[in-house]
Homo-oligomer: A and B are copies of this chain.
C-alpha cells in the first residue's frame, strides 16, 4: 500500500514498484473521465505508463475485479482507493445522507469496503494499492467533505492493517511505515 498527499509522487512511486517486480502488470484505474480537468489528470498519468501494461477501469466493484484478475505471476496496481471511495459514497447515496445531516446507512459502501478487506489477504500474486492521505488539514466545513475525510482515514487504517508493506510518500520520497518481517 502506498499513501501520500495529492501530487506527492505516490502514483509514480507505485509504478516504479510495479516495474521493479518483474511481473506482468495490470493497471486498475478507478477514475472516470468526466470533465476537462479530470481528463487532463488521467492523460498525465497515462503517458507515463509502459505500453505493455494491461489497463482495466473499475469504478465500484473492486474486490470482485481483483479476484478475477489476480494471479501468481501478476502485479495489479490499483490507482487509487480515493477515487473508488468517492465513487462509492456518491453512487451509494452516503454523500446525500451526509449533506442532509442524517446518519450514514449505505449498503453499497459498507459491502464493497468489507469485501475488499476480506479479499485482499486471499489474493495470489502482488497487489499495489495507492491511496490519498486527506485528513492532515483543517476539518472541512462541508459535511460531505467531512464524511469523505472520515471514511478515507478509516479505510486507510483498515487496508494498512491487512497489507504486508505500507509506504508513505512525500516530495517523491518513500518512507516505510510497515514492512514484512525479515526472513533469516
Contact = CB atoms under 8 A, between A and B. Distances in A.
A173 B160 contact: yes
Main secondary structure of the interface of A (DSSP, over half): mixed
Given A7-B150, A138-B148, A171 B160 contact: yes
A157 B172 contact: yes
A33 B134 CA distance: 25
A3 B4 CA distance: 14
A56 to B, nearest CB: 24
A28 interface: no
A156 interface: yes
A9 B157 contact: yes
Contacts of A175: 168, 175, 177
B168 A135 contact: no
A40 interface: yes
A8 interface: yes
